[in-house]
Structure 1
Amino acid sequence: MPVRATHATLSAGRDAVYDPRARQGSVPIEFHLDDGSTLDGALILTSVELEWLHQQTSRLVDAHGQALGGTP
């Protein structure tokens, strides 16, 4: 049975990079496999996907602040 990825996390200590020629961003990630091992990888995002991800993460940050008792 092949090893499968269970989830991915951001790679610590590595920065995201934007390539203006390709109009893409690259976010370093680490894949966690069901056998306990990990693999380095990258999440490649187009400009549209970068904007969508920004909106989504901003919403999550707002929800986190509200959960901690911040103002809505």
Structure 2
Amino acid sequence: MPVRATHATLSAGRDAVYDARARQGSVPIEFHLDDGSTLDGALILTSAEVEWLHQQTSRLVDAHGRALGGTP
């Protein structure tokens, strides 16, 4: 049976990059496989996806702040 990815995490110590010419962003990630190994990879995002991801992560940051007792 082939090894499968169970999840992906952000790669520590590596920054996201935006290529204005290609109008794409690249976020370094690490795939975690069910056999315990990992593979380096990249999440490639269009300009619209970069904006959508920004909105989504902003919502997460707000929810985190509220969970820690910040303003609603």
Same fold judged by TM-score > 0.5? yes
Alpha-carbon distance between aligned partners in 1 of 2:43 and 2:31, rounded to the nearest angstrom = 11
Alpha-carbon distance between aligned partners in 1 of 2:53 and 2:6, rounded to the nearest angstrom = 21
Alpha-carbon distance between aligned partners in 1 of 2:18 and 2:47, rounded to the nearest angstrom = 9
> How far did residue 21 of structure 1 move?
0.5
1:5 paired residue number:
5
- Which whole-Å deviations, capped at 9, do the CAs of 1:2-36 have from their partners, x for residues lacking one? 00000000000000000000000000000000000
- Which whole-Å deviations, capped at 9, do the CAs of 1:30-72 have from their partners, x for residues lacking one? 0000000000000000000000000000000000000000001
RMSD: 0.3
Stretches of structure 2 lacking an aligned partner (at least 5 in a row): none
The two structures have a TM-score, normalised by structure 1, of 0.99
Identity across the alignment (%): 94
How many residues were matched structurally? Answer: 72
Alpha-carbon distance between aligned partners in 2 of 1:14 and 1:60, rounded to the nearest angstrom = 21
What secondary structure is seen at the aligned counterpart in 2 of 1:57? helix
Stretches of structure 1 lacking an aligned partner (at least 5 in a row): none
Alpha-carbon distance between aligned partners in 2 of 1:51 and 1:16, rounded to the nearest angstrom = 14
Alpha-carbon distance between aligned partners in 1 of 2:13 and 2:27, rounded to the nearest angstrom = 12
